[in-house]
Amino acid sequence: MLTSNKLLILKYMNRYFLIISLLLFSTVSFCQNFKNDSIKLFIDKSIELIQINSIHAENINNIKNELYSKSRDLILIDEIAPFYEEVFKQLNDYHGGLKYKGKTYGWNPTNMKTNLYLKDKIKTDTKTFSKLIDTKIAYIRIVGNNDFNFTKVDSLANDIVSYINNINSKTIKGWIIDLRLNTGGNMYPMLLGLKEFIGDNLLFGGFRNAQNKSTGNWEIKEGKLWIDNVILERTEDLDYPINNDIPIVILTSCYTASSGEMTAVSFIGRNNTFIVGEPTANYTTAVQGFKINKDAGINLSTDYVVDRNLKIYKSNISPDFEVLGGDNLEDLNSDQKIRKALELLRKL
């Protein structure tokens, strides 16, 4: 026989299970109540890719719930693509983006620094350039590239070497490597063209994921560039060798981005090396693309870059000596960043 206390307990237990059942039912109903099931499949696939691969997946549940809430009454997948601008904002990922039917939906922070002079120069000065500043100081400017299909690694690296050879000699005592107009692209030809400056027989950088596990290393061994255990080679050689400790100044701007930043990082920690200029653009992540369906893919920041001392860069690169503005690519001797570089090089 059940006592009154036991009956009371059972009554409350039944009420408890009823409440839980209702909550579960309402959750399932929320998740499944889409006018177009293809929209839910699209969202679920994108969320799965973000959760597995992104370094910024802390808010993934909130992001998923918001996408569900905005999308369950929509008819066309085309309608949800613009929502991913907010998704990437919540991910704090402005290096990635949703690619859908030829358009990109991402997030561009409004507080990005600008330099109007260099912004115009990026459009007009699109080739590598080198010049002797004086008889002992050499200058080379390396711009970004669009070799995203990895078809020009050798030719782009050879181009850099040819410009080095145009001015290099036994009398050169210091180098200025200008990355101010380097907005990114494929970093491998940049590293391959500059490998003798970076050093030899060392690990000089790489990537780490959100769990701080290595996902790739950049090394130079016996003069050969190794990226993730793959040797990259070029056909052009230097006419004169580069001393491993020759003083170098790297110039940066607020437009030095992505692969330009990776190139700068490859020099951090090198002896007799300084970074002069402006804080970089803060695209110091590796980006990988993943397929959602035949019309869409998603690019995600998957790894942080590290330097030769294994320091992780989760934001932009701060110069050793900050020089804001004062750029003059028509008259290098009047350029304030170059003037600071010359001051440093002549002390060494």
pLDDT of residue 32: 55
Helix (H, G, I), strand (E, B) or coil at 327: coil
Same domain for 244 and 327, yes or no, is yes
- Are the beta carbons of 46 and 98 closer than 8 angstroms? yes
Instruction: Flag whether 25 is in a domain.
Output: no
Q: Letter for the amino acid at 127? A: K
For range 84-88, the mean pLDDT: 97
Same domain for 46 and 187, yes or no, is no
Confidence of residue 108 (pLDDT cuts 50, 70, 90): confident
The Cα angle at residue 299 between residues 106 and 32, in degrees rounded to 5: 80
Among candidates 244, 249, 264, which has minimal Cα distance to 318? 264
d(CA 277, CA 332): 14
Same domain for 163 and 296, yes or no, is no
DSSP assignment of 275-326? EEES---S--EEEEEEEEETTEEEEEEEEEEEETT--EESSPPPPSEE--S-
For range 159-180, the mean pLDDT: 97
d(CA 80, CA 146): 29
Q: Letter for the amino acid at 199? A: G
This prediction has a pTM of: 0.86
Beta pairing partners, 300: 288
d(CA 102, CA 108): 18
Same domain for 72 and 86, yes or no, is yes
The Cα angle at residue 321 between residues 315 and 327, in degrees rounded to 5: 95
Q: What is the domain-level CATH number for residue 180?
A: 3.90.226.10
Same domain for 200 and 102, yes or no, is no
Q: What is the domain-level CATH number for residue 298?
A: 3.30.750
Instruction: Flag whether 59 is in a domain.
Output: yes
DSSP assignment of 141-173? E------TTSSSHHHHHHHHHHHHHHH--TT--
d(CA 170, CA 242): 9
DSSP 194: T
d(CA 342, CA 40): 59
| Phi, psi for 22 (deg, rounded to 5) | -65, -40
CA count, 13 A, side-chain hemisphere, 237: 5
d(CA 246, CA 240): 13
**pLDDT of 3 higher than 70:** no
**pLDDT of 75 higher than 90:** yes
Give the range of the structural domain holding residue 58, as residue numbers without chain letter: 33-111+286-303
pLDDT, tens digit, for every residue of 293-343?
999 999 999 999 999 999 999 999 999 999 999 999 999 999 999 999 999
pLDDT of residue 261: 97
**pLDDT of 16 higher than 60:** no
The structure tokens 């059940």 sit at 2
d(CA 106, CA 90): 11
Same domain for 64 and 123, yes or no, is no
Instruction: Flag whether 9 is in a domain.
Output: no
Instruction: Flag whether 134 is in a domain.
Output: yes
DSSP 45: H
- Are the beta carbons of 88 and 94 closer than 8 angstroms? yes
Same domain for 224 and 79, yes or no, is no
Beta pairing partners, 138: 132, 175
d(CA 275, CA 268): 8
Instruction: Flag whether 202 is in a domain.
Output: yes
Instruction: Flag whether 181 is in a domain.
Output: yes
d(CA 211, CA 229): 21
d(CA 336, CA 316): 22
Instruction: Flag whether 6 is in a domain.
Output: no
The Cα angle at residue 130 between residues 95 and 219, in degrees rounded to 5: 50
Same domain for 78 and 175, yes or no, is no
Among candidates 64, 238, 98, 223, which has minimal Cα distance to 161? 238
pLDDT, tens digit, for every residue of 41-60?
999 999 999 999 999 999 99
For range 10-16, the mean pLDDT: 39
Instruction: Flag whether 19 is in a domain.
Output: no
The structure tokens 């181009």 sit at 159
Same domain for 140 and 170, yes or no, is yes
Same domain for 92 and 154, yes or no, is no
Same domain for 136 and 267, yes or no, is yes
Q: Which residues contact 60 (CB under 8 A, 6 or more apart)?
A: 47, 50, 51
Domain count, the chain: 2
Same domain for 49 and 155, yes or no, is no
